[in-house]
Structure 1
Amino acid sequence: MTNNNPIGLFDSGIGGTSIWSAIHDLLPNEDSVYLADSKNAPYGQKSKEEIIHLSCKNTEFLLELNCKIVVVACNTATTNAIKELRAKYDVPFIGIEPAIKPAALNSQQHVIGILATQGTLNSELFHQTAQQFQNTKIIEQIGHGLVPLIENGDINSPEMNQLLHDYLNPMIEANIDYLVLGCSHYPYLIPQIKKILPNHIKIIDSGEAVARQTKKILVENVGLSQDTKKGKAIFYTNANSKVLSDILKHQHEVIQKDF
């Protein structure tokens, strides 16, 4: 393993590209490999055992490509499987979980909303984090149907707009002042969400925090790339590559491969 090996990332689909973008912005000289397991999306309604199995399969794919670190760019996979991944594989792992802490600490109303998958909201890790902020009311909302629409490229569809209204209006009525996006797919919905939320409600996602942690762990363990040229990124998907290509604006290599 050398410090010029790529950073590996996986998600249940295209959503983790929001995490990849934050890492690429912070570490532009790093090569990277992204794995979109869109064939099995969404993970949020699967059993813990199935999520662990898929996460192991994804990790092994990335390790075969000599990735020096694995970013679990999926809230559901992190909250359900990262403990098992760290025990099984000899490589640093970076997880992603809903950014409850900054929202709770900065909320003036002591009421925050979280939009996430069922798998994340039901996980032990999420409940452990939420328990730390008992003076803050957390309005939880499962984002049923959002990930499949994003995976199909229907981000601006009437169905998406209706679902977002259904999920966000009760939070607005509950007087939240922070909305936590608890799924790496959801940052792609921020333009629509901003049209629904009043201006004073702040939106938080985990991308920049995950990027900073990735850099920290690389420096402490394997090291940063010594290349001075811009890093190369390769994206793999086991579903139709068009949606992934579209969301990347056709600027990177996308390989459709069954895995």
Structure 2
Amino acid sequence: MKNDKPIGIFDSGIGGTSIWKEIHQLLPNEETIYLADSKNAPYGQKSKKDIVALSIKNTEFLLKMDCKLIVVACNTATTNAIEELRTNYPVPFIGIEPAIKPAALYSKTQTIGILATKGTLSSALFTTAIQKYSNTRIIEQVGHGLVQLIEAGAINSAEMHDLLLSYIQPMIAENIDYLVLGCSHYPYLIPQLRKMLPDHIQIIDSGEAVAKQTKNLLADNIGFNGTKSSNAIFYSNTEATVLRGILGDKYQVIEQDF
């Protein structure tokens, strides 16, 4: 089955490019359109009503681009808005949720940590998800300030290092053996986290699983791009220096208010 329409992806800024990279690596022939709603980042501190409204705005932008499916590459938007999106729009949606299941299943200490936004950790969907793993202690930590620093291009700053350390050390003290990253911005912090965490603590994010789910959905219901070449376009509603720095010069980045 062939379907040359693009895959749409949106996030509250540049973080979802970590998801886009996994999708592009697995499906290099697919056309993709990425929406960085950096003007409204972070979503994690907003009300559910505002998160739903922003997710609708992003969805309608991507539908105008004739996207065949939409990846909500934002944990906060997924946990707060994806049900409304699926109810109101006919296009298939793929969400991103913290990868609690593999961490809980494989934890030997039966204690895992999750670093996420307030919007994700306080959502009804997250609360329901963790109830399935009552035998596992889940140490929750809101990553206050991390998204803002990433959006500002301060990934390797001293401020970022000190913030991360203050969040991670209490988890280490609680004897976690898995750290779940519950925000699509956070994979860009993995190199620093590796240096802070003991070797036995595994880091899990959702990018690879989302890419596999995208491939399966295309195979089962939607269809793959039949052309040999692909194109990736990135839209940002703020000045896009940091986004360009993450992507390099290979891809088209358009600064446009939406």
Deviation of 1:123 (Å):
0.4
Secondary structure in structure 2 of the residue aligned to 1:44:
helix
Q: Which residue of 2 aligns with 1:210?
A: 210
Secondary structure in structure 2 of the residue aligned to 1:221:
helix
The one-character-per-residue Cα deviations of 1:142-187 (angstroms, maximum 9, x if unpaired) are: 0000000000000000000000000000000000000000000000
Secondary structure in structure 2 of the residue aligned to 1:119:
helix
Q: Which residue of 2 aligns with 1:191?
A: 191
Deviation of 1:200 (Å):
0.6
Q: Which residue of 2 aligns with 1:238?
A: 237
Q: Which residue of 1 aligns with 2:133?
A: 133
Q: Which residue of 1 aligns with 2:161?
A: 161
Quote the Cα distance in structure 2 between the aligned partners of 1:12 and 1:212.
22
Unaligned runs of 5+ residues in structure 1 are none
Quote the Cα distance in structure 2 between the aligned partners of 1:121 and 1:61.
27
Amino acid corresponding to residue 132 of structure 1 in structure 2: K
Quote the Cα distance in structure 1 between the aligned partners of 2:114 and 2:186.
11
Q: Does 1:255 align with 2:251?
A: no
Secondary structure in structure 1 of the residue aligned to 2:112:
strand
Amino acid corresponding to residue 249 of structure 2 in structure 1: H
The one-character-per-residue Cα deviations of 1:114-160 (angstroms, maximum 9, x if unpaired) are: 00000000001101110000000000000000000000000000000
1:17-36 equivalent positions in 2, closer than 5 A: 17-36=17-36
Q: Which residue of 1 aligns with 2:68?
A: 68
Quote the Cα distance in structure 2 between the aligned partners of 1:33 and 1:176.
37
Secondary structure in structure 1 of the residue aligned to 2:44:
coil
Q: Which residue of 2 aligns with 1:55?
A: 55
Unaligned runs of 5+ residues in structure 2 are none
Amino acid corresponding to residue 203 of structure 1 in structure 2: I
The one-character-per-residue Cα deviations of 1:218-244 (angstroms, maximum 9, x if unpaired) are: 122211111122x10000000111110
Quote the Cα distance in structure 1 between the aligned partners of 2:59 and 2:3.
18
Amino acid corresponding to residue 9 of structure 1 in structure 2: I
Q: Which residue of 1 aligns with 2:221?
A: 221
Quote the Cα distance in structure 1 between the aligned partners of 2:157 and 2:250.
24
Quote the Cα distance in structure 1 between the aligned partners of 2:213 and 2:181.
18
Secondary structure in structure 1 of the residue aligned to 2:43:
coil
Deviation of 1:250 (Å):
2.3
Percent identity (aligned): 67
Secondary structure in structure 2 of the residue aligned to 1:80:
helix
Q: Does 1:106 align with 2:106?
A: yes
Secondary structure in structure 1 of the residue aligned to 2:133:
coil
Deviation of 1:33 (Å):
0.1
1:86-125 equivalent positions in 2, closer than 5 A: 86-125=86-125
Amino acid corresponding to residue 241 of structure 2 in structure 1: K
Quote the Cα distance in structure 2 between the aligned partners of 1:84 and 1:64.
19
Quote the Cα distance in structure 1 between the aligned partners of 2:35 and 2:48.
20
Q: Which residue of 2 aligns with 1:173?
A: 173
Quote the Cα distance in structure 2 between the aligned partners of 1:95 and 1:217.
12
Quote the Cα distance in structure 2 between the aligned partners of 1:59 and 1:191.
32
Quote the Cα distance in structure 1 between the aligned partners of 2:68 and 2:251.
21
Amino acid corresponding to residue 92 of structure 1 in structure 2: P
Amino acid corresponding to residue 241 of structure 1 in structure 2: A
Aligned length: 257
Quote the Cα distance in structure 2 between the aligned partners of 1:104 and 1:24.
28
Secondary structure in structure 1 of the residue aligned to 2:46:
coil
- Runs of 4+ in structure 1 deviating by more than 2 angstroms, as ranges, are none
Quote the Cα distance in structure 2 between the aligned partners of 1:249 and 1:199.
31
Structure 1 stretch displaced more, 92-101 or 217-226: 217-226
Amino acid corresponding to residue 74 of structure 1 in structure 2: C
Amino acid corresponding to residue 257 of structure 1 in structure 2: Q
Q: Which residue of 1 aligns with 2:39?
A: 39
The one-character-per-residue Cα deviations of 1:4-50 (angstroms, maximum 9, x if unpaired) are: 00000000000000000000000000000000000000000100000
Structure 1 stretch displaced more, 240-249 or 214-223: 214-223
Quote the Cα distance in structure 2 between the aligned partners of 1:130 and 1:222.
31
